[in-house]
Amino acid sequence: MSLKYLFSVHVRLEKTYPERNSLLVHDNPYQLAVAVSLSAQTTDAGVNRVTPELFQRWPNPESLASADIKELENLIHPLGFFHQKARNLIAAAERVVDIYGGEIPREMNQLTSLPGIGRKSANVIRAHVWNLPGIIVDTHFGRVCRRLGLTLAENPDKVERELSALVPDEMQNDFSMMVNYHGRRYCMAKKPNCRGCPLNDICPQVGVAFKKILD
């Protein structure tokens, strides 16, 4: 796929999504790391309903590392997978305190060493905290990029590698967020709104079943 096509997609998405902020409410790296860890298999809105009380009870890694796991589980129960998420949060907080002096690390290998933090989550943290380049691959991003013909890969790590090689570093953070937004607003999994999509005339619509497109 040519850079000219990529830039055309990017420019149109910039006009469609002029504001590109994290949908997870946070004030510091610790809060974002916790919110990202909680966001697996749930909605950002759901996470945002839980985190204010969580951060009030456990405002830093030191306090979270010593949290009562049952109390934490009860608080995050509405988000699903609460047993594993609670264990991961406490274990990650312990590691941050013991190894990184209570500060959320910035390097990819350091972040992914924290329980509950994979490459996608690490790229979110690196992008929003330090503005470091990275392709953030979630289900929305992968689906939209495949439909745009930017990748054929289904594996998130392969999608990340291919798009990292294609998208210039200085565009990666904005591109990741805009494609994510686009997957939520227009390019949904089951009923993509292709007719109203700002990319309609340039998108090859790879794999889209036209009988599912909204009129």
Residue 210 is predicted with a pLDDT of 56
pLDDT band at 22 (very low <50, low <70, confident <90, very high): confident
Q: Please say if the pLDDT value at position 21 is more than 90.
A: no
Percent of residues, the chain, with pLDDT higher than 70:
96
The identity of residue 100, as a single letter, is Y
Residue 59, sorted as left (phi over 0), alpha (psi -120 to 50) or beta, turns out to be: alpha
| N-terminal to C-terminal alpha carbon distance within the chain | 29
- pLDDT value of residue 2: 82
- Residue 214 predicted with pLDDT over 60: no
Q: Is the dihedral of CA 85, 115, 50, 178 positive or negative?
A: negative
Task: Indicate if 29-130 has the same CATH topology as 3-19+135-212.
Answer: no
Average pLDDT score over residue span 181-192? 96
CATH superfamily of 29-130: Hypothetical protein; domain 2 (1.10.340.30)
Domain 3-19+135-212 fold is: Endonuclease Iii, domain 2 (1.10.1670)
Q: How far apart are CA 33 and CA 114, in angstroms?
A: 10
Give the pLDDT mean for 204-210: 83
CA distances 125 to 44, 53, 172, Å, are: 15, 21, 14
Interval 60-100: pLDDT, tens: 999 999 999 999 999 999 999 999 999 999 999 999 999 99
pLDDT of 215 strictly over 80? no
Domain ranges of the chain: 3-19+135-212, 29-130
